[in-house]
């Protein structure tokens, strides 16, 4: 297989990129360790995982933020479930409305997981294609010689031979513990050695899966964890998935077990880093909010500033208006008391009679009206 045989409507769109990334890392490690070295191939598989996870870093951060946001929205979701539990259509509409209001997109939380599925399938297919002496689904049967003379996507026929030669104490990287056919393709195959190498990696992969799931469950809020559906999923993640790795390990190539182990180790470390980063950002945001409120708060012993309000007044047409700023204004039986306020009076060009003057003394307003003129009551 080569680039000339690329079929755009098939899964080659997955197989070629996966094989290309693995090929790049293999060439780098083979230049140091040797082309048929077991660890050169093992590291190429592991760094294929690291490359994929690095590319999915931003979607992973969005996934964590979406998960935290989902936990924050749980009280509101419960209210909607209680209110529209019997009306599923209305419930769906209200949920969509709630998600739009908070900018919540549940699809972003599933993107990293969905992106890893084709990569896993692509890697599994590429690894199986190094040994085509057994035939199988999607593969044609080849003899041992034909298999070594045929390339595997980005890998040349020489690379295929190096892969089949690579082994650790007689355990080929492409073999699995229960394998019965296709053994002639490997330069050396020792079943006890395959078991000896595979079992520790398999157990480590199961342990890594457990601690990875445990870290995820520990960060769930109490409301989410007590949900019956979530509690069941947590049990699956904590016990069934790690056990599944150990039970399924004997039927998977050693390279696939390495892939699973590397993926969970990366996820565990990345999860701790991202959660710490998000928590630090939240603390900084809260601190900035506190500082902003403290800056806007009045100093001890200083009265808060009030906005200036313009109150139109008229005393026989002599006053256009008065601007009053103060704390308390009380009116009793048409009388106005003003305490500790600044009064700005703008006079008109119309002559004012002496009896119509407004005198201000000690920040108080005293109006002297013409004799016989009844004072007007100010509306509140």
Per-residue pLDDT reduced to its tens digit, 14-39: 899 999 999 999 999 999 999 999 99
Split at pLDDT 50, 70, 90, the class of 235 is confident
- Give the three-class secondary structure for 365: strand
Mean pLDDT, residues 242-259: 90
- Give the per-residue pLDDT at 196: 93
Return the H-helix or E-strand segment holding 379: none
Q: What whole-number distance in Å separates Cα of residue 65 and Cα of residue 72?
A: 11
Higher confidence at residue 4 or residue 187? 187
* Rg from Cα positions in the chain: 38
Mean pLDDT, residues 159-176: 92
Mean pLDDT, residues 4-16: 69
* 175: nearest Cα among 258, 85, 268, 293: 258
Q: Whole-prediction pTM value?
A: 0.67
The dihedral built from the CA positions of residue 85, 89, 94 and 96, taken in this order, carries a sign that is positive
Instruction: Pick the range with the lowest mean pLDDT from 1-5, 21-25, 88-92, 298-302.
Output: 1-5
Give the model confidence (pLDDT) of 306-335 as tens digits.
Answer: 655 555 554 454 444 444 444 444 444 444
Higher confidence at residue 371 or residue 207? 207
Higher confidence at residue 225 or residue 33? 33
- Give the per-residue pLDDT at 313: 52
Pairing type for strands 329-332 and 342-347 reads unpaired
- Give the per-residue pLDDT at 266: 92
Biggest CA pair distance of the chain: 127
CA dist list (Å): 81 to 88, 107, 148, 338: 9, 21, 61, 55
- In contact, 43 and 30? CB cutoff 8 Å: no
Q: What whole-number distance in Å separates Cα of residue 157 and Cα of residue 326?
A: 91
């Amino acid at each position: 297989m080569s680039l000339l045989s690329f079929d755009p409507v098939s899964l080659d769109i997955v197989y070629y990129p996966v094989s290309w990334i693995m090929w790049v890392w293999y060439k780098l490690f083979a230049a140091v360790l040797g082309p048929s070295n077991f660890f050169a191939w093992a590291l190429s598989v592991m760094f294929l995982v690291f490359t994929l996870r690095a590319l999915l870093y931003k979607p992973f951060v969005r996934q964590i933020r979406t998960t935290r946001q989902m936990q924050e929205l749980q009280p509101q979701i419960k209210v909607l479930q209680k209110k529209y539990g019997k009306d599923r259509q209305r419930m769906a509409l209200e949920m969509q409305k709630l998600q739009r209001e908070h900018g919540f997109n549940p699809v972003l939380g599933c993107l990293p997981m969905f992106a890893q599925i084709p990569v896993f399938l692509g890697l599994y297919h590429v690894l199986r294609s190094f040994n085509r002496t057994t035939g199988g689904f999607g593969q044609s049967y080849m003899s041992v010689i034909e298999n070594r003379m045929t390339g595997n996507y980005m890998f040349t026929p020489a690379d295929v031979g190096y892969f089949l030669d690579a082994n650790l104490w007689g355990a080929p990287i492409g073999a699995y513990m229960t394998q019965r056919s296709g053994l002639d393709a490997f330069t050396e195959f020792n079943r006890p050695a395959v078991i000896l190498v595979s079992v520790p990696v398999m157990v480590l992969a199961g342990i890594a899966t457990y601690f990875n799931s445990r870290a995820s469950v520990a960060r769930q809020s109490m409301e989410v964890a007590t949900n019956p559906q979530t509690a069941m999923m947590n049990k699956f993640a904590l016990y069934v998935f790690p056990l599944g790795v150990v039970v399924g390990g004997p039927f998977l190539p050693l390279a696939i077990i390495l892939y699973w182990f590397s993926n969970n180790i990366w996820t565990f470390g990345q999860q701790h880093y991202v959660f710490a980063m998000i928590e630090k950002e939240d603390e900084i945001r809260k601190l900035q909010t506190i500082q902003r409120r403290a800056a806007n708060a009045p100093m001890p012993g200083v009265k808060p500033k009030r906005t200036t309000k313009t109150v139109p007044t008229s005393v026989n047409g002599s006053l256009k208006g008065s601007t009053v700023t103060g704390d308390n204004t009380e009116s009793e039986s048409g009388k106005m008391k003003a305490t500790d306020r600044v009064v700005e009076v703008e006079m008109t060009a119309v002559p004012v009679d002496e009896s119509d003057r407004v005198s201000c003394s000690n920040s108080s307003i005293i109006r002297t009206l013409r004799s016989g003129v009844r004072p007007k009551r100010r509306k509140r």
